[in-house]
Every structure is written in C-alpha cells, then in structure tokens.
Amino acid sequence: MIGIWDILDVALFAAMIRMATPLVLAATGGVITERSGVINIGLEGMMMLGALFGVLTSYWTGCPWLGVIAAMVVGGLAAAIHALVVIRFNANHIVSGLGINFIALGLAPFLSEVIWGSRGHSDIVTGLPRWEIPLIKEIPVIGEILGPHSPTVFMILAIVIIANIVLFKTKWGLRITAVGEFAKAAATAGIPVQRTRYICVIISGILAGLAGVHMSLGHLSMFTWGMIGGRGFIALAVMISGNWRPYRVLAIGMVFGFADALQIRLQGLGVPVHFMQMIPFLVTIAVLAGVMGRSRPPADIGKNYEP
C-alpha cells in the first residue's frame, strides 16, 4: 500500500513549480493582452511554436539559449499575426486565435517529420542547464523544492513582478487598462489605442513562446507532439481565476501546477493514464466555477476599435 506521504514528497512540490511555470508565463501574457482589450486564445499555438523552434534552434546551433531567444521571437511573430488580423482587419478575436492554434498544430508535426523524420517527436537536443540558488539549496526540503530547476523557472518570479509593476505602478499600465476598459475614451484622451494593443498582444506571444520553450528545452530537452497538451487553455483559466492580476496569477498557477504534477505522479502508480490526465481540467472547472462572478474582465474586451 502506498501511503499519502509517498506521493506528497519533495519531488512532487518541485514538479509543481516546474509545471506551474509555463502556466504562469502564458497566463501573464494573457493578462497583458486582455487588459488592453484583445483576447488571445492562440496562446496554446504560440506555446507550441515556441517549444518547436526552441528545440530546432538548439538542434542547429547546439546552444539552448539561442533556442530560448528563437522561441520568444517566433511566439512574438505569431502574436503579431494575430494582432494584425484583429486590430488592422477587425476580425473576431476568437476566430483569429483559433486560426493560430490550427497553424501551429499542423506546422509542428510537419516540420518535425521533415527535420527528424518523425511526426511524433524530435531528437534529443541540448537542453537548458539546471540552476540552483546558492545558500537556499542548503536548506532542507525548501532547498530541494526550489532547485535545481531550469532557468525559465526562476524567470517567472521576475516576470510576474515586472508585469505587476508595469500594470499598476506606471503610466503605461494605466494606459493599457484604459484602452481595454473603454477604447474610445482612451482614444479621446490622446492614447494611440491600436499601437498599445499591438504591443500588448506581441508581448503575450513572447511570453507564450517562453512558456513553450520551458516545456521543451527546460524540461524534456526535446519536442514531442502534444507536449503542450492544452496548457495554453489552462493558462487562460489561470488568467481568469487570477482576476487579470499577475500576483494572483502566480498563486493560482501554482494550484494548477500542483494538479498537473499530481497527475503525472499518479500515472506512475497504475491508475489509468487518461483518467489522470483529466485532473488539471477538472481543477480548472472547479476553480473557475468558484471564482466566476467575482472576477471581472476588462469592459471592452474582444471589441474592435475603429478610429
């Protein structure tokens, strides 16, 4: 018989942080774009592209750090397409985001087949190093939970803090919020609504790309089809439950990360895999049901603004 403490061990909490990372990164991107009024359900696809191009770059150059940069660039580019389609051509945000997801879903196995001769996965490439924090690693339990991790894990703290400062402590944040709340009012106050939105959408793509490369280079050192596995959508749930605020997104992201880690752990114990893979989604439904009505999206979200 396996006791509960065999499951709730240090490794599980370390995995929680690892699995929370892509959610928090993508959800923070979601917060930024949605606060400016643009919905981005293409996060999933942007994560996938980030994961793929990160591995590809590392495969070609042997340098995982270049892979990280490539992932962010590709994520940003995919977001730029989304931005162009919705801001310039006034398309529906959901339809455009869905399009991005489908492009990624088709492109990934295609490139994988062409380059590595398998649609399912890539070769193993040089992944990101594992870092530990000096002093803290000596502390029992906590030290083991907080390291060693991929550098991407440590980035989330900085990114969440920066996002929070920008959104709530600078004039840029005020402008972003204004654009997302009432685009016309922002425009009459002299704020370039469209430019603000372009920037925010592209930032969300960059963060999604980073989230994706964490999954590939920061985790498995390879790309597999299905490795994102709906995490882009769960990130949207994290964003909503986090009430479009970075710190809450970090906290909620950990809850979801825990569910994900638990799911992976239980898979090893003979419980049917498909059943276990439902856990993160069940948590999503439960959490969303709990916060609904209490979290309030930006008022002008999903509405296009024509000057």
The residue among 67 and 298 lying less far from another protein, judged by its C-beta, is 298
Q: Which of 231, 228, 233, 235 is nearest to 252 (CA)?
A: 235
Does position 274 bind another protein by CB under 8 A? no
Using DSSP's 3-state secondary structure scheme, residue 237 falls into helix
Q: Six-digit token pair at 261?
A: 């880690």
DSSP 91: -
- Which residues from 187-246 bind another protein, rule CB under 8 A? 187-192
Radius of gyration of the chain (CA): 19
Give the separation between CA 65 and CA 112, rounded to whole angstroms: 20
d(CA 280, CA 259): 5
Residue 26 near residue 49, CB atoms below 8 Å: no
Residue 104 Cα distances to 47, 78, 109, 124, 261, angstroms = 9, 9, 9, 21, 25
CB nearer to another protein: pick between 175 and 248: 175
Nearest distance from C-beta of residue 177 to another protein, angstroms: 7
CB of 245 to another protein, least distance (A): 14
Q: Provide the minimum distance between the beta carbon of 85 and another protein in the complex, in angstroms, as a whole number.
A: 20
- Whole-number minimum distance, CB 175 to another protein, in Å? 7
Single-letter amino acid, residue 118: S
| Subset of 168-187 contacting another protein (CB under 8 A) | 168-171, 173-175, 177-178, 181-182, 184-187
Shortest Cβ 91–another protein spacing (Å): 16
Whose Cβ is closer to another protein: residue 165's or residue 282's? 165
Q: Which residue's CB is nearer to another protein, number 71 or number 179?
A: 179
Residues at the site binding another protein, with contacts judged by CB under 8 A: 168-171, 173-175, 177-178, 181-182, 184-192, 299, 307
